[in-house]
Amino acid sequence: MFDHPGIYLSLCLAAIITFSVWQVPHLSYPEKINPNGYVCPPCGCSAHGRVFKLPGRCASCDMPLIGLDYPSVGIVEYIFMNEGSVSFYHQKVLYPAYFLAIFIGLLTLFKFWREPQAIFFLIFFLSQVLFAFKNQLSGTSYSMRLPLKWLFFPATFLLVASPALYLYFRQYQYKKWKFESRDWLHFLPGLLIIILHAVFFFGPEPWRHLGRYNGYDHYPGLAEQVVFVISGIYYWWLCKMILKERDDLEQTGKTWLSRLLILQLFLVGLWALMLCINFALYSLMSTSLDYHLIWLVVAVFSLWGAYCMLFKKEIVFPNGSKKENRIASAELGQLKTKLERLMQDEKPYLHADLTLQMLADQLGIKEKELSELLNTGFSSNFYNYVNQYRIDAVKTLLLDPEKQHLSNYGIAQEAGFSSKSTFFNLFKKHVGMTPGAFKKLRDHRAS
């Protein structure tokens, strides 16, 4: 039980909170006086640029001052300083995107609440949208102006995003659900951070004062973001391995999952970049509420995810979407016979670059009709169907005396395989042994 990434990430979360409580105050209140003086970190307040002789807090925004000799990077300061100029975009563009995504997500949850795979995608999708929305409740000129207490509002689901994506990848297109009790541990760090936020939110004001290390940012929120970067990279790697091993996926499914991976990696990388900039330049005292680039990316993600849930349900939720029958029952048998004759006579599977669209063109039907034919008529998908023919071709070629000069992979290439690892994995899966063992077995039986 203790050998689980959820346990390790929970311990990491506790360690980061402990370390930050001990170390972060020293970043803003150094022991030695800075001879150059102190300034407010870039946050867009009216006091920025004013030099103070002693460390303390900004009289305008109550942020801890930083040394005047901090490393200055113009483009970064421009992003942090222009809070007023981006207020319009938050209120007119980003907020509507968040509200739309949350509304469509909840509607989709109501429709697919019996599909665990769909629920995991919605957890992944809504967790990041709700986190962005929660960080706009208070603390900025463009926020909803709620009391600072709402900085601790326990709707902070960032740490459940990456585990939910991993479970979504693991179960994608599998009709039989394989969720184990240990899988709940993936969400343990997220549960702990929600409980911690709830303690501060419902607790007395002195608790919240101790929990904040500047006017707006707090220790649980900092630890949450750091662990999100760590867990995001770890679960991204797990998802990458799943995608690499899933030879049974159709191209549309692979493309969809690959895009999710790219988006998640970009978001995690951007978050890591903003944290590093904040730490290296401003001693973590430039509030994360002003991570405008992150909120913009989340807004784009919100709109894209909402679009996919509305118009690409058969790709996003392949197990739960009800598809219209494009092929009449009377035609199904004829098309099955026609497809089998095509595969046996013309052997299109021998071409390594064969796609669903190419096979549909040879059969004289649409791509979606061929997909339905394979699903309904053969209880298979394109790659499983084609690879079964290729495996049968390999078994024949392995015993062909004229092909004995070729390696096993050379024979696989003649049968239409283009990936060595895919060939060996599929052969062992379908035949129950390696190509070499299969050949030796037949030679032994022949002798």
Could you identify the residue written with the tokens 């978050």? 271
Contacts of 32-36 with C-beta under 8 Å, sequence gap 24+, read 34/67, 34/68, 34/69, 36/67, 36/68, 36/69
Residue 324 lies in a domain: no
Lowest mean pLDDT segment, chosen from 128-142, 207-221, 342-356: 128-142
Same domain, 164 and 22: yes
**Most distant CA pair in the chain, distance:** 95
Same domain, 235 and 364: no
Find residue 218's DSSP bridge partners: 212
pLDDT at 430 (0 to 100): 83
DSSP helix/strand/coil, 361: helix
pLDDT at 328 (0 to 100): 64
Residue 131 lies in a domain: yes
Lowest mean pLDDT segment, chosen from 103-107, 325-329, 330-334, 341-345: 325-329
pLDDT at 332 (0 to 100): 79
- Average pLDDT on 285-310 reads 89
Amino acid type, 216: Y
pLDDT at 329 (0 to 100): 67
Is 60 exceeded by the pLDDT of residue 173? Answer: yes
Helices (H), 250-366: 251-282, 292-311, 313-316, 329-345, 356-363
Same domain, 364 and 423: yes
DSSP helix/strand/coil, 202: helix
The CATH number of residue 413's host domain is 1.10.10.60
CB 422 within 8 Å of CB 390: no
Q: In terms of Cα–Cα distance, which of 340, 433, 445 is closest to 399?
A: 445
- Residue 192, number of CB atoms within 10 A of its CB: 21
What is the rounded distance in angstroms from the CA atom of residue 247 to the CA atom of residue 383?
A: 7
pTM: 0.75
* Higher-pLDDT residue of 444, 230: 230
pLDDT at 226 (0 to 100): 97
Is 80 exceeded by the pLDDT of residue 300? Answer: yes
In Å, how far are 16, 27, 252, 266, 287 from 279, measured between CA atoms? 14, 9, 41, 20, 11
**CB-based contacts of 56, cutoff 8 Å, min separation 6:** 38, 64, 65
Mark which of 316, 344, 360 sits at the end of a domain. Answer: 316
**Tens digit of each residue's pLDDT (9 = 90 or more) over 68-87:** 888 777 777 777 776 666 67
Q: How confident is the model at residue 94 (pLDDT cuts 50, 70, 90)?
A: confident
DSSP helix/strand/coil, 67: strand
pLDDT at 325 (0 to 100): 58
CB 128 within 8 Å of CB 163: no
Mark which of 261, 294, 316 sits at the end of a domain. Answer: 316
Structure tokens at 93: 């563009």
- Average pLDDT on 157-163 reads 95
Across 370-402, b (16+ Cβ under 10 Å) vs e yields bbbbbebbeebbbbbbbbbbbbebbbebbeeee
Mark which of 316, 341, 373 sits at the end of a domain. Answer: 316
pLDDT at 231 (0 to 100): 97
- Mean of pLDDT over the chain: 85
Q: How confident is the model at residue 444 (pLDDT cuts 50, 70, 90)?
A: low
**Tens digit of each residue's pLDDT (9 = 90 or more) over 222-256:** 999 999 999 999 999 999 998 887 766 777 888 89
Same domain, 144 and 181: yes
| Number of domains observed in the structure of the chain | 2
Domain span holding position 56: 5-316
Is 70 exceeded by the pLDDT of residue 31? Answer: no
**Tens digit of each residue's pLDDT (9 = 90 or more) over 251-282:** 788 889 999 999 999 999 999 999 999 898 88
Same domain, 277 and 347: no
Query: What number of H helices and E strands is found in the chain?
Result: 19, 2
Is 80 exceeded by the pLDDT of residue 436? Answer: yes
pLDDT at 442 (0 to 100): 65
Same domain, 250 and 102: yes
